[in-house]
Amino acid sequence: MSDTPLIDARGIVRHFGHVQALQGADFSVGRGEIVGLVGDNGAGKSTLIRILSGTDRPDDGAIFVNGQEVHFGGPQDARAVGIETVYQDLALAPDLDAAANVFLGRELLKPGLLGRLGVLDNSRMVQQTGEAMVRLGVTIRPSAEVFTLSGGQRQSAAVARAAMWATSAILMDEPTANLGVKQTKGVLDLIRRVRDAGTAVVIISHNLPQILEITDRIVILRLGRSVGQVAASAACVDDLIRAMMSGVLRRQAT
């Protein structure tokens, strides 16, 4: 990985009235790295993800992508620099097929006059979705309607959609919530394949054993501040809980 973080958020401040959700939080992730973001309820995790995804704006602080400072006016600005987000509700259209969901808002048009008339090139979208699914090891038919998919398949479809468009990083909020053991394993394996392809992955989760299993590094937030970071291989659940409760992390990542 490069010494320059792919995403580097410094001194992020965000308040809502008298409530200060973030009080100078720092966060970074490198290319080909999975970073977990943990903290108790109200620590500021979701607020930080919303800011990194462009759906909210910081009151102070700076965000750098590939060493260049960026200012997000909305999610489209984050997507323009290759940042995609998989929210807990997945944001999938159940009555559309997997390919249509992958290209939702990015639809391909037929060439020539038909394209100028707004006719969609469904066959090309199905083909490109199928190629992406094979590349990511996802066993979902591009023509399958989302409402027919299991919970794990829907989560995989949402991750695959993000991976198809992300050139920098994918942000994930509770990616395995409400999934069974087998479905969870499939999603975690998919996240590893995304990481191995060079895309940075950021995961919010309350499932600390799972965070230790899937991530390379973990950043702990407490009361809107980043109180430490540690390599997942050097930490245990008790370390993370202690840091989340006290703000003190005994073993820090170098």
pLDDT tens string for the chain (254 positions)?
Answer: 457 899 999 999 999 999 999 999 999 999 999 999 999 999 999 999 999 999 999 999 999 999 999 999 999 999 999 999 998 887 899 999 999 999 998 999 999 988 888 889 999 999 999 999 998 888 899 999 999 999 888 988 998 899 999 999 999 998 888 788 888 888 899 999 999 999 999 999 999 999 999 999 999 999 999 999 999 999 999 999 999 998 877 666 55
Helix (H) or strand (E) holding 176: none
pLDDT at 168: 92
Say what the pLDDT of residue 2 is.
53
pLDDT of the residue at 233: 94
Single out the residue of 232, 168, 205, 240 nearest to residue 5, CA to CA: 168
d(CA 156, CA 181): 14
Pair 162, 219: CB distance under 8 Å: no
The pLDDT of residue 248 is 79
Q: Domains in the chain, ordered, with CATH?
A: 1-82+169-174+199-254 (3.40.50.300)
d(CA 228, CA 38): 11
pLDDT value, residue 53: 96
Q: What's the CA gap between 106 and 25, in Å, rounded?
A: 33
Instruction: Say which residues have a Cβ less than 8 Å from residue 103's Cβ, sequence separation at least 6.
Output: 125, 129
Query: Is the pTM of the predicted complex or chain greater than 0.75?
Result: yes
**pLDDT the model gives residue 1:** 47
Phi-psi region of 234 (alpha: psi -120 to 50; beta: other; left: phi over 0): alpha
